[in-house]
């Protein structure tokens, strides 16, 4: 079965992209189930691959097995020092992906989502709609608008996106927790498949840095951040104060719209936004924000934190 899966991923990738540059890629499975898959696929696509943390360890090397900056510092350092052209990393069950390029460093899940969706839309692979969680970058909306695609904004949780892939209303679904799924593949997140598409697209461009620079040129640079606040009955606190939260957020900018499908999300006139939602499983309030500068991002996050702390 592994050979069939590998062949399927490679064949799909080569339908969409034409790798040209032999990139030096560091693959970090983080001791998990992508061992033997991502590295093999990228080699067969013509990349020069080195693998790290590529043995099974039920303690995951003492790390949190998620492809986030705190868990892959050595992988990030090796790429930003110039030893590699790119890195991809996975979580323990390989449904998620992290990436690193020498110029920009760690690429956030939202960065990866925009790169892959933009490249597939540009090539006409996405013909119907795009589904995204309400916590995902609004650059996805800009891509959909540019290519005449419908956008479906859903509550956080990939289960909400799956029905649109199965029904055929959407071709791709993305969520800021670093997951992408495709209607022509399987209706669930597959980080190995996404890694193959990402690196093949980068190889066609010449580098992952150039590929991300194209996103910045076309849609501008965006910065993202999530903060988790311990709040007992956090979901109830947010849900019963939605109007008040929006009113208080007007203190950090002109609110031009809001979304209330999962918590409350304020849209500002400068393109920034903040989502405040209570966790359904933990005593937390999660705050997500996006802005075109770090200063603006921090301003919005600080205001949102203060608002929630005043409501606890």
Assign 261 to helix, strand or coil: coil
Partners of 277 in beta bridges: 286
Report the pLDDT value the prediction gives residue 46, as an integer from 0 to 100.
Answer: 98
**Of 170, 113, 165, 167, which is closest to residue 143 (Cα–Cα)?**
113
What distances in angstroms separate CA 99 from CA 8, 12, 57, 191, 199, one per listed residue? Answer: 22, 21, 22, 11, 10
Weakly modelled stretches of the chain, pLDDT under 50: none
Instruction: Give me the domains of the chain, ranges plus CATH numbers.
Output: 2-107+189-219 (3.40.120.10), 112-182 (3.40.120.10), 223-311 (3.30.310.50)
Q: How far apart are CA 50 and CA 177, in angstroms?
A: 26
Per the DSSP assignment, residues forming a β-bridge with 99 are 88, 107
- For residue 275, list its beta bridge partners: 265, 288
- The helix (run of H) or strand (run of E) holding residue 164 is helix 159-167
Q: Six-digit token pair at 87?
A: 């890195």
In terms of C-beta density within 10 A (0-12 exposed, 13-18 middle, 19 or more buried), how is residue 82 classed?
exposed
Q: For 23-47, give the DSSP string.
A: -EEEEE-TTSTTTTTHHHHHHHTT-
Nearest alpha carbon to residue 113 among 85, 151, 84, 167: 151
d(CA 149, CA 168): 13
Threshold 0.85, pTM exceeds? yes
Q: Is 122 exposed, middle or buried (0-12, 13-18, 19+ CB in 10 A)?
A: middle
pLDDT for position 77: 98
pLDDT given at position 220: 96
The per-residue pLDDT for 281 is 87
């Amino acid at each position: 079965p592994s050979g069939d899966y590998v062949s399927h991923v490679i064949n799909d990738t080569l339908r969409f992209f034409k790798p040209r540059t032999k990139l030096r890629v560091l693959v970090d499975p983080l001791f998990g189930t992508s061992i033997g898959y991502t590295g093999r696929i990228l080699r067969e696509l013509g990349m020069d691959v080195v693998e790290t943390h590529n043995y099974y360890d039920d303690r995951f090397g003492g790390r949190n097995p998620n492809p986030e900056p705190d868990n892959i510092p050595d992988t990030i350092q090796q790429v930003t020092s110039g030893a590699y052209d790119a890195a991809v990393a996975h979580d323990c069950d390989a449904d998620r992906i992290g990436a690193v390029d020498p110029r920009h460093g760690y690429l956030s899940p939202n960065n990866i989502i925009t790169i892959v969706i933009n490249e597939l839309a540009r090539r006409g692979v996405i013909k119907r709609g795009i589904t995204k969680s309400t916590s995902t970058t609004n650059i996805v909306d800009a891509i959909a608008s540019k290519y005449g695609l419908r956008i479906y904004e859903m509550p956080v949780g990939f289960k909400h996106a799956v029905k649109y892939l199965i029904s055929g209303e959407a071709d791709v679904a993305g969520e800021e927790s670093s997951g992408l799924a495709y209607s022509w593949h399987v209706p669930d997140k597959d980080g190995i498949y996404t890694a193959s598409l990402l690196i093949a697209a980068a190889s066609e461009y010449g580098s992952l840095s150039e590929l991300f620079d194209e996103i910045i040129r076309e849609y501008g640079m965006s910065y993202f951040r999530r903060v988790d606040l311990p709040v007992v009955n956090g979901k109830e606190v947010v849900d019963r104060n939605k109007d008040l939260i929006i009113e208080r957020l007007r203190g950090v900018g002109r609110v031009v719209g809001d979304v209330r499908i999962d918590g409350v999300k304020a849209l500002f006139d400068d393109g920034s936004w903040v989502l405040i939602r209570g966790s359904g499983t933990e005593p937390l309030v999660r705050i997500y924000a996006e802005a075109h500068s770090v200063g603006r991002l921090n301003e919005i996050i600080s205001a949102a934190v203060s608002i929630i702390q005043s409501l606890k």
